[in-house]
């Protein structure tokens, strides 16, 4: 998986408009074929039309991420923000296909985007199975 920080995240950090220890962050699954544009996609409203619809165990608007950790990496000259692994259980049908996920700050009035996780291909969770995303992270360089 390739992770990208959104340009809006860098702006929010510079403005003091994001608090990883207090804000609520959500992750949404994107429809197959979605292309993240870090220059044009700033807020949830910019990408919501390409989110998977509510169905079969997935709820549009996102899964609330827990377990945030912020790590300074002086060797690679970056900061990494990670969260616990989100899960969805497919019930009554398949979830997907999806080829990526967006993390956004639900506390922010604009629901500003934090980052994008590219799965590197389509993924579909079959009915009855559990989809778990691992290594949910955004790197800020």
For residue range 12-43, list pLDDT tens digits in order: 887 888 999 999 999 999 999 999 999 999 99
Instruction: Give CA–CA dist 31/33, Å, rounded.
Output: 6
**Is residue 135 assigned to a domain?**
no
- Span 103-138, pLDDT tens digits: 999 999 999 999 999 999 999 999 999 999 998 999
Q: Looking at the 3D structure of the chain, how many domains does it have?
A: 1
- Span 74-95, pLDDT tens digits: 999 999 999 999 999 999 999 9
7 CB-side CA count, 13 A: 7
**Is residue 21 assigned to a domain?**
yes
**Is residue 33 assigned to a domain?**
yes
**Is residue 128 assigned to a domain?**
no
What pLDDT was estimated at residue 71? 95
Please give the residue range of the domain that contains residue 46: 2-86+96-121
């Amino acid at each position: 998986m390739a992770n990208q920080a959104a340009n809006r995240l860098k702006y929010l950090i510079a403005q003091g408009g994001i608090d990883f220890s207090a804000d609520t962050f959500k992750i949404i699954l994107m429809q197959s074929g979605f292309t993240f544009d870090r220059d044009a996609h700033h807020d949830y409203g910019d990408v919501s039309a390409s989110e998977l619809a509510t169905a079969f165990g997935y709820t549009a608007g996102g899964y609330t991420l827990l377990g945030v950790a912020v790590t300074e990496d002086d060797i690679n000259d970056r900061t990494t923000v990670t969260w616990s692994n989100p899960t969805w259980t497919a019930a009554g049908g398949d979830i997907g296909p999806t080829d990526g996920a967006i993390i956004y700050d639900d506390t922010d009035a604009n629901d500003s985007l934090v980052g994008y996780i590219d799965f590197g291909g389509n993924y579909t969770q079959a009915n009855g199975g559990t989809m778990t995303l691992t290594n949910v992270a955004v790197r800020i360089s």
